[in-house]
Homo-oligomer: A and B are copies of this chain.
């Protein structure tokens, strides 16, 4: 397999996915494993997650997916992907705070929307966006990027068909954005679009809300975006 060069200092990074048995986490775990990445699925209940992961259909050429409790997954991670529901992120990050490796990269993929009485609405977040909220909960020595917020979980989790869309990446650290972009582009059919500082996360989250609105109104599942002219 071709050598990965997504992290200049570490061509074979360990990517831990918290919430890795959920729809979006599973899709990311399977697709990264097929791309040759060392994947650790983090879970509150590692034994149960192990059963779940053992039942996945992953081709023999993929890198084996490991399973660990959340704290061990974070402690092992060059990159920690936060693929948990936004409502659970505060408690999780409180517990995980001591376990992050200094200099490691966190990627926030949460979507701050709520469904009440069949209507989808974005949650107000005091910090401006879910990503900025999460920034405030992470150790200062952990870099943060926002990515994988607009690719539909449904499509992500459906096999490994090419995704055919753009993924928007932002963050206040240049290396966080470039490493997250490299991870995005490891997945066939995804192009990373760097949109700048972490404060742009709110616009990306609005894009996800728009995709959900389009899905519901037009009775489809996989609305996503492509930037034209770039």
Contact = CB atoms under 8 A, between A and B. Distances in A.
Interface of A: 122, 152, 155, 164-165, 168, 193-196, 200, 202-204, 206-207, 209-211, 213-214, 217-218, 220-230
B213 A209 contact: no
Closest 6 CB pairs of A and B: A206-B206, A222-B229, A203-B206, A203-B210, A226-B226, A224-B228
Given A195-B213, A225-B225, A230 B218 contact: yes
A207 B227 CA distance: 11
Contacts of A218: 194, 230
Contact of A228 (B207, B213, B217, B226): B226
Contact of A229 (B202, B204, B210, B223): B223
Contacts of A155: 229
Contact of A220 (B202, B211, B229): B229
Contact of A214 (B122, B165, B222, B230): B230
19 contacts: A122-B203, A152-B229, A164-B228, A165-B228, A194-B217, A194-B218, A195-B210, A195-B213, A195-B217, A202-B206, A206-B206, A207-B207, A211-B227, A220-B230, A221-B229, A223-B227, A223-B229, A224-B227, A224-B229
A207 B214 contact: no
